[in-house]
Amino acid sequence: MSYNSFGQLFRLTTWGESHGPAIGCVVDGCPPRIRLSEADIQPWLDRRRPGQSRFTSQRAEPDQVRILSGVFEGETTGTPIALVIENVDQRSKDYSDIRDRFRPGHADLTYELKYGARDYRGGGRASARETAMRVAAGAVARRVLGEAVRIRGALIQIGPHAIARARWDWNEVDANPFFCPDPETVPVWEDYLGSIRKAGSSVGAIIEVVAEGAPPGLGAPVYGKLDADLASGLMSINAVKGVEIGAGFASATLRGEENADEMRMREGEVEFLTNHAGGILGGISSGAPIVARFAVKPTSSILVPRRSVDRFGSEIDVMTKGRHDPCVGIRAVPVGEAMMALVLADHLLRHRAQNPDAPDRPRLPRN
Amino acid sequence: MSYNSFGQLFRLTTWGESHGPAIGCVVDGCPPRIRLSEADIQPWLDRRRPGQSRFTSQRAEPDQVRILSGVFEGETTGTPIALVIENVDQRSKDYSDIRDRFRPGHADLTYELKYGARDYRGGGRASARETAMRVAAGAVARRVLGEAVRIRGALIQIGPHAIARARWDWNEVDANPFFCPDPETVPVWEDYLGSIRKAGSSVGAIIEVVAEGAPPGLGAPVYGKLDADLASGLMSINAVKGVEIGAGFASATLRGEENADEMRMREGEVEFLTNHAGGILGGISSGAPIVARFAVKPTSSILVPRRSVDRFGSEIDVMTKGRHDPCVGIRAVPVGEAMMALVLADHLLRHRAQNPDAPDRPRLPRN
Amino acid sequence: MSYNSFGQLFRLTTWGESHGPAIGCVVDGCPPRIRLSEADIQPWLDRRRPGQSRFTSQRAEPDQVRILSGVFEGETTGTPIALVIENVDQRSKDYSDIRDRFRPGHADLTYELKYGARDYRGGGRASARETAMRVAAGAVARRVLGEAVRIRGALIQIGPHAIARARWDWNEVDANPFFCPDPETVPVWEDYLGSIRKAGSSVGAIIEVVAEGAPPGLGAPVYGKLDADLASGLMSINAVKGVEIGAGFASATLRGEENADEMRMREGEVEFLTNHAGGILGGISSGAPIVARFAVKPTSSILVPRRSVDRFGSEIDVMTKGRHDPCVGIRAVPVGEAMMALVLADHLLRHRAQNPDAPDRPRLPRN
Amino acid sequence: MSYNSFGQLFRLTTWGESHGPAIGCVVDGCPPRIRLSEADIQPWLDRRRPGQSRFTSQRAEPDQVRILSGVFEGETTGTPIALVIENVDQRSKDYSDIRDRFRPGHADLTYELKYGARDYRGGGRASARETAMRVAAGAVARRVLGEAVRIRGALIQIGPHAIARARWDWNEVDANPFFCPDPETVPVWEDYLGSIRKAGSSVGAIIEVVAEGAPPGLGAPVYGKLDADLASGLMSINAVKGVEIGAGFASATLRGEENADEMRMREGEVEFLTNHAGGILGGISSGAPIVARFAVKPTSSILVPRRSVDRFGSEIDVMTKGRHDPCVGIRAVPVGEAMMALVLADHLLRHRAQNPDAPDRPRLPRN
C-alpha cells in the first residue's frame, strides 16, 4: 500500500529528494546467505550516473552507495538492506524563479494541487534522481535471480530515428553513450541529438528490456500477472508514457495465426518458434525471453520559452535554465533493466511460496 | 498481495472459472450510504455480455448479477459487497481433445507449468468471463466517483483499420456493435471483420478510455502513480499487450516544446492548451481528461490449424472448435472503462486519506 | 489492506451479514494440487455450528458449505477458492425495537458512529456468524499445513472456574459440549452455566490453542512476527479482549532464569526443557509447540435490562429478547483453531518464499 | 506485506542492526503541511534512551535523530520521511563466545533455524535498539493525530509488585525512573529491582497505554479492527508475551451485566458509565479512552548460567556477560505509546478514506 514501495515479497521502499542531504532505499524480503557488497551494486549505478556524456545531464554525482544494514560478513541475513547515496552536487542557488512557477510538462503543478506544498529544488521527489535507488535495488534483485537470468536493455529509438533490428548486437550496447545495439545508428543519433541539444530542445525515446533465462511459471492470474506488474513498474519510471510486452501495440494489427507463437519440442523442452507474446502467456512466464518496451517523453526542461501560469494565477512564460538533458530516455535504460529485475525477483519469491516444488527449467509437468 | 485482488482501499477480489457453477467478486472498502442496487450494475454488464452480435462470442450468458451482502435498505453499509453471477451456458461436453493439448497463444501451457494442473474447461480461470466481475465492480466504482466523473471508452482500431479522430462522436459509440466513435469506420469494420470471421481467423484491436471530471491530485509518487496503477489494471485484462497514456508511444518522436502542454488561466482555473500528458503529470492527475489506450491481441482460438505440443511431449496440430470470437477487443471496451473506474475510485479514497482537505475541483493552492 | 481480508500469501476474504441471503469467503493463494472437497471442510463447521447444546445459541443453521471455484477434479488449482454458506434461519421479524437502539457492549453504536448506517438485523456484519467462514477457511489451511501439523483447542476457563491443567486430556475435548479437556470440570461448568442461563445472564471464558509439529522458522522480524500475526488474528475474533503466547501475562512475574527455556540435544535435535515461550522466540517458531490463549468477554445480549441511549439521544433501558448465548466463548474454540491454522499456513508460504531451502524439521543449521 | 513495515496508510519501515553503522526508518503516507523538525522527535527518543538509570541497560547512545527527507521549510511534504540514528556505542569486541551459542530465551536459535545466518553482535536485528525507530515514528504519528489526542503510558507491575490503581497520578510518571504512576510503589520497585540487579537476574513487567481524545469510528470490521491492529503492534515489541484491551483477561470472569458499559447522554454526547471495553466495540473506537495493556517477559540476558546448546550440537552452559538490563519492561513504556500512536494515525487516515464526512467528535449520527 505504501506509495513509495514497489514489490510484494522482494520489496523496495525509496526515499529522498533531489536536493536533500541524501537519497536511499530499503530492500526488504531478500533471501539470506546471498553474497553482497557495495561492489555488486556500484557498477550498475555507474552506468546510470549523470554527466558521462554531453547527451545527458551535467550534474556531477559520484553516486557512491553504502550498505547500512542487512549484510553481515559479506552475506545477506534476510533482514532489511538499507542503501544510501549522499547528494553531493545539489548546487545551492536562488530558487525564487521556480518556487512559484509551474513548468509545462512537469509535476510542479500536480504536486502543488495534491499536497499544497512541494520541495521545488531540482524537482524534489519528482526528480529522476530517485531512479538511482531503483538501479541499486535492481542490482540486489539480480543477485537473487542468479547468473542464469540475464537482463539487458537497449535504446532502440530516439525521436524519429529507430534502429535496424537486423543489426542488433548486444555487444555494442555498452560501447556507445546511448546504449544503442545498432552501431550504424550511433552516428545518426549523435548528429540528431547534437542538434537537439544546441537548439535547447529535447526529444523522446523508446527502450527495450529483455530477460533471458527466467524460469517459467512466474506471475499469477489475474491481478498478479507478470506483465501487469512489469507495466506498473516501467510506467512508474519518470517520463514514461507507454509500455508494451512482446509484439505490443503491433499485435493489434496481426491476425490470430500470425500472432500466436507455435510450439515444438526441442531436447525434451517446449520451444516457441516466434515470440510475439514476449515470454508471457496468461500473465505467466513461459520460459521464452521476456520482452518489454517503454516510451519516454522528451523532458520539458528546455531552453525554449513556454506559456504557463504561476501560483498566484498569473499567466507567465517559463524557460528552464541551467543543466539540460536533451534525451532523458538514455539514462532510462539501466532503470528499465532494474525494474525488470525487481519484478522478476519478486515473482520468483511469490512463485516459490505457492509452488514449493516449482520447476526451475521449462518442462512438461507429467510425462 | 492477493493475486486475485485489485486496488488498495477500494478493493476488488474476483473468483470463478468459465465452467464452474458461478463467478463472483467481493468489493471491499466501499464508502457507506451510497445508493446501490442490481439495477445500477446490470446495464454495464449488458454492454459486455457475449452473443450480442455476430462479431463476438456466441456464448449465451444472461449475466444476471446478484448482490449478496454489503447493501442494506438500498444503501451501501461500508461492509464488503459480494456480487455473484451464475454460469448458465457452460455447454458440458467432451474436453478430452483439449485436456492434454496446449493451444498456441493461450495460457494452457503456462498454467500447466506453474501449477501442474488446470481447469481446462473453457479456459478455466484464464477465461475472459472473469472480466464480467470487473465490469460489475466498475459499476460500483462509478457510484463512488459520482456523476461529476464521466468515464467512456471506444474502439479506435481493428487490425489495420483505425478510425479518423476528426470524426470522433461519443454519441455513435453505443449505436453500433463495435463501440466505434466514427460512423464512417463502422461499415469498414463490418466488412473486414466479416471476412476475418469467415476465414476462421481473428484480429487485434486498440481501445481508448477517457475519464473527464476526475479531481486533480489523484495518484501519488513514486510507486503509487496513477498511470502506473492504470497500466497495471489495463495490462491485467485478458489479451492486452500494451498500454499508453496521453500521447503514449508517439511522445518518443516529439520534441520537448511540442510535447509539454502549455497552461493558461480560464475563469480562475488552470487550463491546459493541449493534452499530450493524458491528464497525468508526475503520476498525479492534473484535472485535464485522463486518457489511456490499450492494445488487445487477436485471440488464438481460431479455426486455422497451428503447430503445438501436448502434455506428453508429442508434437501436434491444434485447431479450436466451437464458439469463435473474431475480435475479443470489442468486448474489452466496457472492461477498460471498468478498470479506469476502479483505479480512480481507489485513488480518490487514497487521496482523501492523506489529504483530508483536498480540493474537489482544480484550483491554485494559495492565491 | 482490505478490511475484510486476513493473511498475506494464504489470504482469506470474508463477506456477508447475519441476516443476508448468504455468507461466504474467498481463499486466495492456496497451493495447487491439494486434495480438497466439501467433506474436508464440513466437519470443522459442524463443530462450530450453533444449536448443539443448551449452552449455545439456539439458531438452527445447518451451515452447509459449497465450493464454487478453485477446485477441479478434486484438487486445488492455485486459483481462488470461493466458499459459500446460505443463511437459513434468519427469522424474519420486526426489528423496530433494535433498529434505533444501541445495546451496551455491542457494536451497534460504533457502526453507527463510523458509517452512519448499519444492517441491524441479527448484528449484521458484527454477528459471530462471520466466524463460520474462518472455520471453513481454516479447514483449507489445515490441508495446506498437512498431517504433520496438529492444531487443537480447548476451553480452559468459564467465569471464575478454571480447569486443572494436571488433568488435561485432549481425548476429552470432543466428549463434552464445552470443548473441556478436564473431565472433572465438566459438571462444574454444567451447573454454573445452567444457573447463568436461567438468570438470563452470560459469562466470559478463556480458550487455549496449541499447534504441534509446525516447522521452525515461521514468522519474521520485526513486524511479521508469528506472535504478532497470531495476536491480530485471535483479537479479531468477536468478543476477544486479550491474547497471550506461552507464559503470557504470567511471564511478568517470573525471573529471567525461571522464564527462559533451557535447551538440550535429543536425537540430534534441539529440545526445550520447558515452553514458557510458547514455541516462539524473536517472533519466529522454534519447533516447540505453539501455544496461544485468548479471553472472550461475556456477550452483552442478556435478558437483564441495562441503561443505554437511542439514535435520537434519548436515555433508554435495553434488554435483549429471543435467542441467548450464555457463553459465546464455547464456540470460539474451533474459531481460535482456525485462526491458528490460517496464520501458520500463511507463514509457511511466506517462509518458503524467502527461504527456499528451509528445513522442514528442527535441526541445527551447520553441524 | 513487508516484514519490516507496520501500518497501511501511515506506514513505518525500519531497518538496522544493533551493531551496524546506523538504524533508521521510513515513514510513508504522512499528510502534508504538518510542522515537523528533529525537535518534535528527540524528546520522545530521550525518554526511551538507555543508560538513564541503574535499572536499564548501560549502553551509552545519544540517539540523535536526523530527518533526511520528506520535510521542507519545516513542514512535511507528503513524501517519505527518512529518519536515521547513528550507532555510537557498539563496543567492538570479541564475539567468538556468542557467535556459535544459543542463549536460552533469545532469538539466537530461531534466526539461525530460519535464515541459516545472523548478525550475532548485540542481538543484531533482534535487538531492542530497533524500538528507537518506533518511538521516532511514533512522534511523527503524534503530530498527525494532533493535540486533541493524548497518548500516555505507565508501568503498572514489576514482577509480583503491582501498583495501586487508586493512587494513579499521571503527573508522577515522569518523576521516577520507572514511569510509575503510583508514588508509593516507587520505593518498593527500587528495592526489589536493586536486589534483582545484584543477583544478576531480571524480571518481567506490565505496561498500560491510554489514548484519550481519539475520535470514534477508528478501526473497521472484521480484520481491520482497531484492537486487532493494536494487538499486532504491541505484540511485535521485543519480549512482549501478552496484550489485552480494557478489562482484558479479567473480562472472562465477569457476567454480561457487569462487563457491558452502560450509556447515558451528557451534553448531547454519548457517555459510557464504565470502560470495560477499553474504548473499542466491534473493533471500532467508541470515543471512550482507548486502554491497552501488555506483558513483557524478563530478559534472558542474565548473569546466571543456563543450560543450552551450540551450533555444533554440543550441550553447553550459557551466561551473558557485560551490560545487563534487570527490567526491559521499563523502556517498553515509550515504545508502547509509540505503537498506540502509529495504530491510531494509520486508522485515522483509513477512516477518512472511506468516510470523508466522518465526525471528529463522538456524536449521534442523525438526531
For the segment A13-19, the average pLDDT, to the nearest whole number, is 97
What residues of A are in contact with residue B366 (Cβ under 8 Å)? 116, 311
What residues of C are in contact with residue A29 (Cβ under 8 Å)? 353-354
The C-alpha cell 531552453 sits at A303
pLDDT for position C61:
81
Measured distance CA(C265)–CA(C268) in Å, rounded? 6
**Are D111 and C205 inside 8 Å of each other by CB?**
no
Q: Which residues of B lie closer than 8 Å to C, measured between beta carbons?
A: 1-5, 8-9, 11, 13-17, 20-24, 26, 28-29, 32-33, 66, 68-70, 72, 75, 77-82, 114-119, 124-125
**Would you say C89 and C60 are in contact if contact means Cβ atoms under 8 Å apart?**
yes
What residues of B are in contact with residue C32 (Cβ under 8 Å)? 115-117
DSSP string, D164-188: -GGG--GGGGGGSTT--S-TTHHHH
Cα-based angle B3, B31, B335 (whole degrees, multiple of 5): 50
**Are B32 and D355 inside 8 Å of each other by CB?**
yes
**Would you say B345 and B10 are in contact if contact means Cβ atoms under 8 Å apart?**
yes
DSSP string, B251-263: GGGSBHHHHSPPE
Residue D307 has pLDDT above 60, yes or no: yes
Give the residue among B281, B285, B261 at the shortest CA–CA distance from B346: B285
**Are D352 and B352 inside 8 Å of each other by CB?**
yes
Of A201-210, A353-362, B293-302, where does the model show the most confidence? A201-210
Read off the C-alpha cell for B306: 497451428
Per residue in A108-151, pLDDT (tens digit) is 999 999 999 899 998 899 999 999 999 999 999 999 999 999 99
Measured distance CA(A120)–CA(A142) in Å, rounded? 34
Facing D118 at nearest CB: one of A15, A77, A117: A77
DSSP string, C202-257: -B-EEEEEEEESPPTT-SBTTTB-HHHHHHHHHHTSTTEEEEEETTGGGGGGSBHH
Per residue in A34-58, pLDDT (tens digit) is 999 999 999 999 998 877 777 777 6
Measured distance CA(D236)–CA(D239) in Å, rounded? 8
> Rounded mean pLDDT of chain A?
92
Per residue in A187-198, pLDDT (tens digit) is 999 999 999 999
- How many angstroms away from the CA of D127 is the closest CA of chain B? 29
- How many angstroms away from the CA of B73 is the closest CA of chain A? 32
Measured distance CA(C208)–CA(C191) in Å, rounded? 22
Residue B313's CB is within 10 A of a number of other CB atoms, namely 13
Per residue in C168-178, pLDDT (tens digit) is 999 999 999 99
Q: Which residues contact B7 (CB under 8 A, 6 or more apart)?
A: B29, B342, B343, B345, B346
Q: Which residues contact A138 (CB under 8 A, 6 or more apart)?
A: A44, A334, A337, A338, A339, A340, A341, A342
Facing A79 at nearest CB: one of C78, C221, C355: C221
DSSP H or E run through B287: none
What residues of A are in contact with residue B365 (Cβ under 8 Å)? 112-113, 116-117, 311
DSSP string, A210-271: EEESPPTT-SBTTTB-HHHHHHHHHHTSTTEEEEEETTGGGGGGSBHHHHSPPEEEETTEEE
Give the residue among D345, D336, D226, D212 at the shortest CA–CA distance from D285: D226
**Are B77 and C125 inside 8 Å of each other by CB?**
yes
Give the residue among A29, A345, A365 at the shortest CA–CA distance from A214: A345
Measured distance CA(D134)–CA(D15) in Å, rounded? 11
In sequence order, which ranges of B102-225 are alpha helices (DSSP H)?
A: 108-115, 131-145, 185-198
Measured distance CA(A204)–CA(A198) in Å, rounded? 16
Per-residue burial over D78-104, b if 16 or more Cβ lie within 10 Å, else e, is bbbbbbbbbbeebeeeeeeebebbbbb
Measured distance CA(A363)–CA(B357) in Å, rounded? 55
DSSP string, A129-146: GGHHHHHHHHHHHHHHH-
**Are C2 and B29 inside 8 Å of each other by CB?**
yes
Measured distance CA(D111)–CA(D311) in Å, rounded? 12
Residue B360 has pLDDT above 50, yes or no: no
Facing B116 at nearest CB: one of A110, A244, A365: A365
Give the residue among D42, D57, D142 at the shortest CA–CA distance from D331: D57
Give the residue among C342, C133, C129 at the shortest CA–CA distance from C232: C342
**Are B31 and D78 inside 8 Å of each other by CB?**
no
Per residue in C16-41, pLDDT (tens digit) is 999 999 999 999 999 999 999 999 99
**Would you say D211 and C211 are in contact if contact means Cβ atoms under 8 Å apart?**
no
- How many angstroms away from the CA of B103 is the closest CA of chain C? 19
Measured distance CA(A150)–CA(C68) in Å, rounded? 41
**Are B79 and C26 inside 8 Å of each other by CB?**
no
- The pLDDT > 70 percentage for chain C reads 95
Minimal-distance CA residue of chain D relative to C116:
D365
Minimal-distance CA residue of chain B relative to C67:
B21
Number of CB pairs < 8 Å for B and D? 45
B partners (3+ CB pairs within 8 A) are: A, C, D
**Would you say B279 and B285 are in contact if contact means Cβ atoms under 8 Å apart?**
yes
Residue D37 has pLDDT above 70, yes or no: yes
- How many angstroms away from the CA of B69 is the closest CA of chain C? 5
Strand, coil or helix: C332: helix
**Are B20 and C68 inside 8 Å of each other by CB?**
yes
**Would you say C310 and D270 are in contact if contact means Cβ atoms under 8 Å apart?**
no
CA dist list (Å): B363 to A98, A194, A343, B286? 19, 40, 37, 10
Q: Which residues of D lie closer than 8 Å to B, measured between beta carbons?
A: 1, 9, 29-32, 78-79, 220-221, 349-350, 352-356
The residue ranking higher by pLDDT, B155 or D268, is B155
State the DSSP code for C314: -
C29 Rama sector, left if φ>0, alpha if ψ -120 to 50, beta otherwise = left
- The pLDDT > 90 percentage for chain C reads 82
Cα-based angle C18, C20, C21 (whole degrees, multiple of 5): 125
- How many angstroms away from the CA of D73 is the closest CA of chain A? 8
CA dist list (Å): C181 to A299, C176, C193, C331? 72, 9, 17, 15
**Are D356 and B355 inside 8 Å of each other by CB?**
no
Minimal-distance CA residue of chain D relative to C130:
D222
Per residue in D137-157, pLDDT (tens digit) is 999 999 999 999 999 999 999
pLDDT for position B310:
92
Per residue in A181-224, pLDDT (tens digit) is 999 999 999 999 999 999 999 999 999 999 999 999 999 999 99
- Please report the beta strands in chain A, taking only residues with DSSP state E, as ranges in sequence order: 5-6, 11-16, 22-28, 65-67, 71-72, 75-76, 81-86, 150-158, 161-162, 205-212, 240-245, 263-266, 269-272, 280-281, 284-285, 290-296, 306-309, 315-318
**Are D256 and C365 inside 8 Å of each other by CB?**
no
Per residue in A292-348, pLDDT (tens digit) is 999 999 998 888 899 999 988 899 999 877 767 899 999 999 999 999 999 999 999
Per-residue burial over D4-20, b if 16 or more Cβ lie within 10 Å, else e, is bbbbbbbbbbbbbbbbb
Measured distance CA(B302)–CA(B324) in Å, rounded? 7
Cα-based angle B161, B163, B164 (whole degrees, multiple of 5): 130
State the DSSP code for C299: P
What residues of D are in contact with residue B355 (Cβ under 8 Å)? 31-32, 78
Q: How confident is the model at residue B235 (pLDDT cuts 50, 70, 90)?
A: very high
**Are B69 and C33 inside 8 Å of each other by CB?**
no
What residues of D are in contact with residue C233 (Cβ under 8 Å)? 228
Facing A1 at nearest CB: one of D11, D72, D79: D11
Per-residue burial over A296-329, b if 16 or more Cβ lie within 10 Å, else e, is bbbbbbbbbebebbbbeeeeeebebeebbbbbbb
Residue type, A320: T
Q: How confident is the model at residue A365 (pLDDT cuts 50, 70, 90)?
A: very low
Facing C2 at nearest CB: one of B24, B28, B115: B28
The residue ranking higher by pLDDT, D325 or A187, is A187
Measured distance CA(D228)–CA(D283) in Å, rounded? 7
Measured distance CA(A53)–CA(D148) in Å, rounded? 56
What residues of A are in contact with residue C354 (Cβ under 8 Å)? 9, 29-32, 78, 349
**Would you say C219 and C225 are in contact if contact means Cβ atoms under 8 Å apart?**
yes
**Are B109 and A286 inside 8 Å of each other by CB?**
yes
Minimal-distance CA residue of chain B relative to D355:
B31
Residue C195 has pLDDT above 80, yes or no: yes
Residue D362 has pLDDT above 80, yes or no: no
Per residue in A70-95, pLDDT (tens digit) is 999 999 999 999 999 999 876 667 77
Strand, coil or helix: A97: helix
**Are A287 and B113 inside 8 Å of each other by CB?**
yes
pLDDT for position D366:
41
CA dist list (Å): C240 to B316, C233, D224, D236? 60, 10, 14, 19
> Rounded mean pLDDT of chain B?
92
- The pLDDT > 90 percentage for chain D reads 82
**Would you say D77 and D34 are in contact if contact means Cβ atoms under 8 Å apart?**
no
**Would you say B294 and B242 are in contact if contact means Cβ atoms under 8 Å apart?**
yes
pLDDT for position A361:
43
A partners (3+ CB pairs within 8 A) are: B, C, D
> Rounded mean pLDDT of chain C?
92
pLDDT for position C91:
64
The residue ranking higher by pLDDT, B107 or C269, is B107
pLDDT for position B164:
98
Residue type, A173: V
Per residue in D40-90, pLDDT (tens digit) is 999 999 998 877 777 777 677 889 999 999 999 999 999 999 999 999 877
**Would you say C272 and C261 are in contact if contact means Cβ atoms under 8 Å apart?**
yes
Distance between terminal CA atoms of chain C?
42
Measured distance CA(D245)–CA(D225) in Å, rounded? 12
pLDDT for position A335:
98
